[in-house]
Amino acid sequence: MKNTFFCIDGHTCGNPVRLVIGGAPTLEGDDMVQRRAHFERDYDWVRTSLMFEPRGHDVMSGTIVYPPTRSDCDAAILFIEVSGCLPMCGHGTIGTVTFLIENGLVRPSKPSLLKLDTPAGLVVANFEMDGEHVTSVRLINVASYLHARDLSIELDGIGEIRFDVAYGGNFYAIIESQANFRDMEDLSPTDIQRLSPMVRAKANEKYEFIHPLTPEINGLSHVMWTGRAKNQGSTIRNAVFYGDKAIDRSPCGTGTSARMAQLVAKGQLAIGETFVHESIIGTCFNGVATEATKIGDIDAIIPSVEGWARITGHNTIFVEDRDPLHRGFLL
């Protein structure tokens, strides 16, 4: 048995995006939460084959585009990553919009704007073009909020680590400067890969993280280490850990949304104020908390995040069962 997947590969501000444009399974469901559940139940091998080694790598991240389930959207996006099927992925959406538009694969119902149906909800993408190239994409992301303040866990060999948890399409532990952690520049990538899974496991053991309106979105999945900006013009630097070994090379779109929600809730960022988020490799997203809103009775913001993406190539990928490693592997 041989499956062939037609993909556009590229990156958003350094983090990989593999957009699957052919070969993906048809999914059932009235909305993207149900379609995501169908994919996870019957087709997770597509994700592991395309994201894990030897066809992918530890940081691989991708999307599959479907017809929308909502009449107000132009397209639906399923996020497939090394870590699973995220409800929402900002860098993945910026890359997907860029690749779709540059290849004429979707017709926007309004010029320079795509409305996207994601498992986390409606995401609006405004894009700018120079000739045939998309130069930037600004996402209006899902409502984001500070879920919990000043939680704590004990890390072996380090001691107490305190953190807030905010939601920006995924739940993030946000670790700021404190007694046992000064700045992310003190941590090597290996330190981040060693410490973050412990923070995540201990936090999920001790606390509960469930979206107030969509309980299918639950669990702390991402750990954000913060630090002083290095670039002139950046507000804050961050490194987001996800999956088993991945450190986001981009400033992380849902992480930037969560961070702005946290800062607004704590009175450290104003609505409308620019927030330039710097990644571990020095690339930036331009964020703004565009307006205050509510999720049920919880104070929240509508974040917008702007970044750029580039195509690196077209990739026809074979997944053939005569290859003993056709489902992919994690080291």
Binding site for ligand PYC (CB under 6 A): 15, 61, 89-91, 242, 248, 250, 252-255
Catalytic residue among 13, 73, 85, 89: 89
Q: What's the closest the beta carbon of residue 196 comes to ligand PYC, in angstroms? A: 13
Task: Give me the numbers of helices (H) and strands (E) for the chain, helices first please.
Answer: 5, 17
189 upstream amide cis, omega within 30 of 0: no
**Strand, helix or coil for residue 114:** strand
C-alpha angle with apex 146: 142 to 149, nearest 5 degrees? Answer: 165
C-alpha angle with apex 244: 242 to 247, nearest 5 degrees? Answer: 45
**Strand, helix or coil for residue 133:** strand
How far apart are alpha carbons 94 and 211 in whole angstroms?
24
Comparison of 199 and 319: residue with beta carbon closer to ligand PYC: 199
How far apart are alpha carbons 232 and 246 in whole angstroms?
26
Q: What's the closest the beta carbon of residue 46 comes to ligand PYC, in angstroms? A: 19
- Identify whether the C-beta of residue 134 lies closer than 8 Å to the C-beta of residue 127: yes
Q: What's the closest the beta carbon of residue 91 comes to ligand PYC, in angstroms? A: 3
Q: Where are the alpha helices (DSSP H) in the chain?
A: 32-42, 44-51, 90-102, 189-206, 253-265
Sign of CA dihedral 212, 217, 219, 222: negative
Whether 73 is catalytic: no
91, two tokens: 């860098």
Comparison of 300 and 319: residue with beta carbon closer to ligand PYC: 300
Question: CB under 8 Å to 104, separation ≥6 — which residues?
Answer: none
Comparison of 250 and 283: residue with beta carbon closer to ligand PYC: 250
Q: What's the closest the beta carbon of residue 85 comes to ligand PYC, in angstroms? A: 12
Comparison of 196 and 254: residue with beta carbon closer to ligand PYC: 254
288, two tokens: 């703004």
**Element (H or E) spanning 287, and its range?**
strand 284-295
Q: What's the closest the beta carbon of residue 230 comes to ligand PYC, in angstroms? A: 20
Q: At what angle do helices 90-102 and 253-265 cross, to 10 degrees?
A: 130
**Element (H or E) spanning 246, and its range?**
strand 246-247
How far apart are alpha carbons 171 and 220 in whole angstroms?
5
Q: What's the closest the beta carbon of residue 189 comes to ligand PYC, in angstroms? A: 15
Whether 85 is catalytic: no
Q: What's the closest the beta carbon of residue 100 comes to ligand PYC, in angstroms? A: 17
Comparison of 90 and 303: residue with beta carbon closer to ligand PYC: 90
Comparison of 79 and 326: residue with beta carbon closer to ligand PYC: 79
Comparison of 305 and 319: residue with beta carbon closer to ligand PYC: 305
The set of catalytic residues is: 89, 252
